[in-house]
């Protein structure tokens, strides 16, 4: 699943939330007011993913250490 904020238009640029899931793209109009808040949500989501990946690495390390006991 891929998420992003995209700008569409040549003269009148508009912000959209783009979601790609199961080879289908869905667009939702954001407008000026919701664009910044949506970008903030994306930053938070990316931070969450980084934390989860760190936790997985720690878990894998612990599992390897316990396997040797």
Q: What are the helix and strand counts (H, E) for the chain?
A: 1, 3
Report residue 10 as tokens: 């040549």
For the whole model, what pTM was predicted?
0.63
Mean of pLDDT values over 51-56: 97
What is the per-residue pLDDT across 19-44, written as a single tens digit (0 to 9) for each?
888 889 999 999 888 888 888 888 89
CA–CA dist 25, 34 (Å, integer): 20
């Amino acid at each position: 699943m891929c998420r992003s904020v995209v700008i569409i238009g040549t003269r009148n640029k508009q912000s959209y939330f783009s979601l790609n899931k199961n080879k289908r793209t869905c667009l939702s109009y954001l407008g000026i007011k919701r664009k910044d808040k949506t970008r903030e949500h994306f930053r938070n989501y990316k931070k969450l993913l980084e934390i989860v990946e760190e936790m997985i690495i720690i878990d894998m390390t612990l599992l390897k250490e316990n396997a040797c006991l």
